[in-house]
Structure 1
Amino acid sequence: MSDWRGMLDAVVRERGRALFGYAYVLTGDRDQAEDLLQDALVRAFRSGRRASSVEAAQAYVKRAIATAFIDRARRAAARPVAGGDLQDWVAYTPKTPDHAPRVEAALDLQSALLTLPPRERACVVLRYMDDMTVAAVADTLGLAQGTVKRYLSDAVGRLKEAMPEVVFAESESVPVDVREGGAR
Structure 2
Amino acid sequence: MENTHPQHPDAAPDGGAAADAQVLADIDQLTQALSESESKLGEMRDTVLRERADLDNQRKRLARDLEQARRFANERLLSDLLPVCDNLERGLAVENADIATLREGMDLTLKALLKVAETNGLKPLNPVGEIFNPELHQAVSTVDAPNQAPNTVVAVFQKGYVLNERLLRPALVTVAKAPDA
Bin for the TM-score computed over the shorter chain = under 0.3
Structure (1/2) with the larger strand percentage? 2
Structure (1/2) with the larger helix percentage? 1
Query: TM-score, normalising length from structure 2?
Result: 0.24
Bigger CA radius of gyration? 2
Structure with the larger RCO, 1 or 2 (CA within 8 Å, 6+ apart): 1
